[in-house]
Amino acid sequence: MRVNVFPTADELAAGAAGAIANAIKESPGARVSVGLAGGSTPRATYEHLRWEPVPWDGVDLWLSDERWVPHDHEDSNGLMAATALVDHVGARFVRPRWSEYLTAMDSAAFYEAELRRFIPGGRSDIVLLGMGADGHTASLFPDTRALDEHRRWFVHNEVPQLDTWRLTATPPMINRARTVLVLTAGESKADVLATALEGPDGSVPIQLLRHAVGEVVWMVDEAAASSLSSITVERV
């Protein structure tokens, strides 16, 4: 695990875009799979990433989580990713299905079947994640059922605290990725970041990354890193 600290949120977004571009170019496979995250810091990263020289025609983009809303809904992570990145590059983008005739369970099952067709063994080359103020990542919220999933790659997840359903990659799929990049910015994330990195196991959901088999890189700004104490960080 590495923790890279950037002076500002914009420098974090630019640095993350460069890291993603390099990881894509250095991937050993003929095609590269990249799981995209929702959130404001990932959005800023995508707006930088679309200007990077990347061989997009060999990239498969997918969503590490999605809200159970229509594709054109303002809350859709897929719509955000399309607007900020996908509409500007030549990558293949695979989104979960949505229809008033489907359930969230149906959509998650269809999406898992699609992921199994282009991600061998469920090991994505790159997975991007954010972190919420409660320590959730993707749509793995505290005390929700998907946190205990050990077999499926992608599931529907009831989030009672938000009175909604979400679609999300599971801990085993996230932890199989070759590279996981966690993008976190802002003073409001400082305490939960310190808990995630320095607190005891089980404190917050994002600590599932302690079991990752690939490289995990936290990319944070100075404000988010302000409560860290014992962890070794690299300032860039």
> What is the residue type of 35?
G
Domains and CATH numbers, the chain: 2-235 (3.40.50.1360)
d(CA 99, CA 70): 7
Crossing angle (nearest 10°) for helices 77-84 and 40-49: 30
Q: What is the pLDDT of residue 235?
A: 82
Tokens of 47: 């707006």
Under 8 Å CB-to-CB from 49, ≥6 apart: which residues?
16, 17, 20, 21, 85
Whole-number pLDDT of residue 233: 83
In percent, how much of the chain has pLDDT > 70? 100
Residue 31 CA to residue 27 CA, distance in Å, equals 8
- Taking only the tens of pLDDT, the chain with its 236 residues reads 999 999 999 999 999 999 999 999 998 888 999 999 999 999 999 999 999 999 999 999 999 999 999 999 999 999 999 999 999 999 999 999 999 999 999 999 999 999 999 998 999 999 999 999 999 999 999 999 999 999 999 999 999 999 999 999 999 999 999 999 999 999 999 999 999 999 999 999 999 999 999 999 999 999 999 999 877 788 88
pLDDT of 33-66, one tens digit each? Answer: 999 999 999 999 999 999 999 999 999 999 999 9
The pTM of this model reads 0.96
- Provide the pLDDT for residue 232: 78
CA 150 from centroid of its chain's CA atoms? 19
pLDDT for res 28: 85
What pLDDT sits at residue 111?
98
pLDDT value, residue 57: 96
In sequence order, the 6+-apart residues with CB closer than 8 A to the CB of 39 are 130, 183
- The residue to which tokens 């996981």 are assigned: 180
End-to-end CA distance of the chain: give it in Å, rounded: 16
CB 135 within 8 A of CB 204: yes
pLDDT score of 101 = 96
